[in-house]
Amino acid sequence: MMLNQVEDLASKASDELGKITDVNDLEAWRIHYLGRKGSLIQILRSLADLPLKERRAVGARANELKEVLEAAFVEKKRNLRQDLALSQRREALDITLPGQQVPLGRLHPTTQMLEEICGIFSNMGFQVVEGPEVEWDYYSFEALNIPADHPARDMFATLWVDSEAKTGGRPMLLRPHTSPVQIRVMEKSRPPIRIIAPGRVYRYEATDATHEWMFYQVEGLAVDRNITLADLKGTLFEFARCLFGEDRKCRFRCDYFPFVEPGVEMAIDCLVCRGAGCRLCGNSGWIEILGAGMVHPEVLRRVDIDPEVYSGFAFGMGVERIPILRYGIDDIRLFYSNDLRFLKQF
């Protein structure tokens, strides 16, 4: 009878031991089976009540079991310790692993271009200023000699911002060009003025390879006594040579912008064919890069600068157009679609 109990205990103890996975459970197991009040001790204590023959058999078996369980306990404890050390080592920092690469950042091609353009004009004494992108109709059109019903408004497909009610009856828009900055500067300062104004402009336009609804322009303005068209030509010619190379040719032709008189368009000889005619220049040999002109007397009068005393020139250019020409980029939408494969090339 008692022998059966000992055998039961033996198999239960080894079953349970097999399932143990941490040291606390192992200690509980030891107390339960091998402790001073444990199952095995109790069996050994009750031996005295047994008949001699059974006492011997049970006693021998129980002592043997005690040794087996003690040995199993020591073994298990060692195994658990090893497992723990192993998993700790696995979680620890492995300094032999290669580090994670941090990709090198770079400036957006437009930013690079803006810095280059502004750098050239800074060297010529122009000051860099900025104006708001959300602009009043007044600065974008009215003050630039484009009244509400003027057909020239069609030149600037406009994104209107808000109902006139919300802006106190004064229409607001996303500026379609940087020319409003001219007015803001002339309102606040007196000649001599020499500024350039880089920034975003917006047009209400369906996008395609050559049209974006947002792009960048750089505006330029110089106002002083005795400023002539020759100053305009000299300044822009110097600019073109700095940007496109010493041997650049420039061509000025008449153009129309309501805020200048006369108005001109400047072209450089084609970067690819040097004037012979190719695909890039549409076989003309020339590439138009900016609009310019002498500030209209009406514009000066509005900002209280006397056109009898002062004169000025102004110009405006698209920024993306330059890298497009330089690198043969065939779609302006690439600039602002955040495709790193494109952006990483510059």
Near ligand PHE by CB under 6 A: residue from 109, 180, 191, 316: 316
The total of other beta-carbon atoms located within 10 Å of residue 189's CB is: 15
User: In angstroms, what is the minimal distance from the CB of 119 to ligand PHE?
Assistant: 20
Tell me: does residue 260 bind ligand PHE (CB under 6 A). Answer: yes
Q: What letter represents residue 260's amino acid?
A: V
Rounded distance, CA 41 to CA 35, Å?
8
Choose one: 118-126, 188-196, 286-294, 320-328; the region binding ligand PHE (CB under 6 A).
Answer: 286-294
SS3 label, residue 144:
helix
User: In angstroms, what is the minimal distance from the CB of 292 to ligand PHE?
Assistant: 5
Rounded distance, CA 4 to CA 97, Å?
58
Choose one: 56-64, 72-80, 101-109, 314-322; the region binding ligand PHE (CB under 6 A).
Answer: 314-322
Q: Is the Cβ of residue 65 or residue 195 nearer to ligand PHE in the bound state?
A: 195
Query: What is the SS3 string spanning 198-263?
Result: EEEEECCCCCECCECCEEEEEEEEEEECCCCHHHHHHHHHHHHHHHHCCCCCEEEEEECCCCEEEE
Q: Is the Cβ of residue 26 or residue 229 nearer to ligand PHE in the bound state?
A: 229
Closest listed residue to residue 224, CA positions, set 255, 254, 192:
192
Near ligand PHE by CB under 6 A: residue from 131, 171, 199, 291: 291
Tell me: does residue 293 bind ligand PHE (CB under 6 A). Answer: yes
Tell me: does residue 191 bind ligand PHE (CB under 6 A). Answer: no
Tell me: does residue 177 bind ligand PHE (CB under 6 A). Answer: yes
Tell me: does residue 257 bind ligand PHE (CB under 6 A). Answer: yes
Q: Is the Cβ of residue 171 or residue 293 nearer to ligand PHE in the bound state?
A: 293
Near ligand PHE by CB under 6 A: residue from 139, 215, 286, 315: 315
User: In angstroms, what is the minimal distance from the CB of 313 to ligand PHE?
Assistant: 8
Tell me: does residue 179 bind ligand PHE (CB under 6 A). Answer: yes
User: In angstroms, what is the minimal distance from the CB of 275 to ligand PHE?
Assistant: 24
Tell me: does residue 139 bind ligand PHE (CB under 6 A). Answer: no
Q: Which two tokens stand for residue 213?
A: 């609804």
Rounded distance, CA 213 to CA 325, Å?
19
Closest listed residue to residue 124, CA positions, set 239, 227, 237:
239
What is the sign of the dihedral through the CA atoms of 269, 272, 278 and 282? Answer: negative
Let me know: does 229 contact 294? Beta carbons within 8 Å: yes
Q: Are strands 250-255 and 260-269 parallel, antiparallel or unpaired?
A: antiparallel
Tell me: does residue 292 bind ligand PHE (CB under 6 A). Answer: yes
Question: Considering only residues 141-170, where is the footprint of ligand PHE by CB under 6 A?
Answer: none
Let me know: does 76 contact 20? Beta carbons within 8 Å: yes
Binding mask 58-77 for ligand PHE (x = CB under 6 A): --------------------
Residue nearest to ligand PHE (CB): 316
Query: Footprint of ligand PHE on this chain (CB under 6 A)?
Result: 177, 179, 257, 260, 291-293, 314-316
